[in-house]
Chains A and B, each alone.
Chain A
Amino acid sequence: MLQVKNVCVRYPNGTRALSDFSITVKTGEFVTVLGGNGSGKTTLLRCITRTVKPSSGEIWVNGSEMTEIEGEPLRRARLNLALISQHASLVRRRNVLANVATGSLGRHFNLWTALGGLPSEELEAGRNYLGKVGLASLEAQRASTLSGGQAQRVAIARALAQKPQVLLADEPVASLDPEAANEVMRLLVDLATNGRLAVLCVLHQVDLAYAYAHRVIGIRRGRVAFDRERADVSRAEIEQLYVGEPA
């Protein structure tokens, strides 16, 4: 479970990116976050992964408080979180299976993995994850040869290899064609409902949010504008999020 409690982020130039921001994502839930550019969506994810430290508030991931820890405790806490970003961010010169298995490195620290090796059991597990995302046949292919949709599915398989409790996705389908985007969204929903993950997905595509989300959170100027079941959110409310925001 992911809990964000009263989080504020104020940048050194005085800009308030998030104000008194509170949300909860339960295990098995697929929650999308909608909002205009600069509304604070990406800052929210950066706070949760602790690449940005909140000015105040608390972030709990599966019972661990994230905001006050540094170094090794932070690294350990991050094992519970996986992030899929807009670009798959794969190591392009390694093959697909190796990219997937690197998701498990946080759990394996020994001379072999420090020298660039991967545990054989994680390579085997990686094959299973590739099967889940429908890319088992591409395990030996170099990551640089994949299409955008394939690369994003490999990134999801890498996130699964991490065995997280919370899965964060930052505009995961922004650079994909509609067919690939729907495939990725279906996969994310399946991971939430059948894989028992708490999935928080930042999106720009309102239609996709409507089609797949269990719950929709609207952000406007760093605050929660609404946080309701998908069926209870009207199109007008969503459109209101983008009114007067920079393009």
Chain B
Amino acid sequence: MTSGATQRPDAAGFWGWSSGSAAANALRVVGILVAILVVVQTVLVVQARPQDLVTGFRGMVDIVRRAVPPDVSRLPAALWPALETVDLAIFGTLMGLVLALPLSFFAASNVTPSRAAYYLARGVIAFTRAVPDLVWALIFVTAVGLGPFPGGLALGVHSLGMLGRLFAETIEHMDMAPIEALALTGARRIQVITHGIIPTVLPSLLGISLYRLDENIRSSLVLGFVGAGGIGFQLLTAMNLFQYREVSLLLIVTFVIVFSVERLSAMLRRRLV
């Protein structure tokens, strides 16, 4: 006979401790120790020195003091690189979208025509995604020369990997019943894709692409650092010449671009999905 208060046999404390299994508790201790070790080695490897922030504070204040007010007279000269930055992102996103869409049908396990095609598509996606866009930009700058075009190519190839993976996962998670119903009517594979799969996943694919555009805007800002076009090149030049008032103007322009595209993309995603 138990006393008044009901006791759950599996009752566990806030941290998941239970009196039931000593082995489980020992495992938790080991887990916590490992987590602490990971944090400690991270701090050591990155050579974190918080005191340097204190000693460097005066230097930072000096830079900020020299950066205000922003040099508005440089605004007309910043507009073209700003447009280039936005266009780089649009070009890269569109290129990634056009390449990733067909590839994702091979890379989705539920609709791929063969295992070989699946692994090949997944390999292409993994490779283009694993190489950072900045590295792709360096490669394309070497291949086609300086300017925005290699930047657009870099964003396009990297976006192919990022979009390809997300598109394939979206297709893998879709409801297959309407697709199977369409296939049973005698429709060909391409018809099943265009009449069944694409209409079903299109809002998600557009939402993902808009999010990618948002990401590509941010990426295109730094592509200029390696000579691949956009406002990044102006920013790097101004910093190298200690033109901090121009730097602050370019940062404001950058903020306006990023914020505007982010809001526009969020608004469109809400309408589409």
In the complex, the answer to whether A79 meets B186 with C-beta atoms within 8 Å is yes
> How many residues does chain B have at the interface if contact means C-beta atoms less than 8 Å apart?
20
In the complex, the answer to whether B202 meets A114 with C-beta atoms within 8 Å is no
Contact status of A85 and B177, CB under 8 A, knowing A75-B186, A93-B203, A109-B188: yes
In the complex, the answer to whether B185 meets A162 with C-beta atoms within 8 Å is yes
In the complex, the answer to whether A91 meets B182 with C-beta atoms within 8 Å is yes
Question: 8 Å CB contacts to B: which residues of A84-115?
Answer: 85, 87, 89-94, 98, 102-107, 109, 113-115
Contact status of A92 and B190, CB under 8 A, knowing A83-B184, A105-B185: no
Categorize the interface residue count of chain A: 20 to 34
In the complex, the answer to whether B191 meets A114 with C-beta atoms within 8 Å is yes
In the complex, the answer to whether A158 meets B186 with C-beta atoms within 8 Å is no
B201 to chain A, nearest CB (A): 9
Closest residue on chain B to residue A109 by CB atoms = B188
A245 to chain B, nearest CB (A): 26
Closest residue on chain A to residue B198 by CB atoms = A116
User: For the complex, is B194 an interface residue (Cβ under 8 Å from A)?
Assistant: yes
CA–CA, A135 to B58, complex, Å?
76
User: For the complex, is A78 an interface residue (Cβ under 8 Å from B)?
Assistant: yes
B207 to chain A, nearest CB (A): 13
In the complex, the answer to whether A91 meets B185 with C-beta atoms within 8 Å is no
User: For the complex, is A2 an interface residue (Cβ under 8 Å from B)?
Assistant: no
Give the chain B neighbours of A200 by CB distance below 8 A: none
A109 to chain B, nearest CB (A): 6
In the complex, the answer to whether B199 meets A94 with C-beta atoms within 8 Å is yes
Give the chain B neighbours of A49 by CB distance below 8 A: 184
In the complex, the answer to whether A162 meets B180 with C-beta atoms within 8 Å is no
Question: 8 Å CB contacts to A: which residues of B3-21?
Answer: none
CA–CA, A56 to B191, complex, Å?
32
Question: 8 Å CB contacts to B: which residues of A47-90?
Answer: 49, 51, 75-76, 78-79, 81-83, 85, 87, 89-90
User: For the complex, is B72 an interface residue (Cβ under 8 Å from A)?
Assistant: no
Contact status of A158 and B185, CB under 8 A, knowing A91-B196, A116-B194: yes
User: For the complex, is B178 an interface residue (Cβ under 8 Å from A)?
Assistant: yes
Most chain B C-beta atoms within 10 Å of own C-beta, residue among A51, A92, A93: A93
Closest residue on chain B to residue A99 by CB atoms = B178
B66 to chain A, nearest CB (A): 55
In the complex, the answer to whether A89 meets B185 with C-beta atoms within 8 Å is no
Question: 8 Å CB contacts to B: which residues of A142-189?
Answer: 155, 158, 162
Some 6 contacts from A to B, beta carbons below 8 A apart, are A89-B180, A90-B181, A91-B196, A92-B200, A113-B191, A155-B181
Given contacts A89-B177, A105-B182, 16 further A-B contacts (CB under 8 A): A76-B186, A81-B184, A83-B181, A90-B178, A90-B181, A91-B178, A91-B195, A91-B199, A92-B200, A102-B182, A102-B185, A105-B187, A105-B191, A109-B191, A118-B195, A158-B185
Which residues of B are in contact with A by a Cβ distance under 8 Å?
A: 177-178, 180-182, 184-188, 190-191, 194-196, 198-200, 202-203
Q: What are the 10 A-B residue pairs with the smallest beta carbon separation, nearest first? A: A106-B186, A89-B181, A105-B187, A116-B194, A79-B186, A89-B177, A89-B178, A78-B186, A105-B191, A114-B190
Which residues of A are in contact with B by a Cβ distance under 8 Å?
A: 49, 51, 75-76, 78-79, 81-83, 85, 87, 89-94, 98, 102-107, 109, 113-116, 118, 155, 158, 162
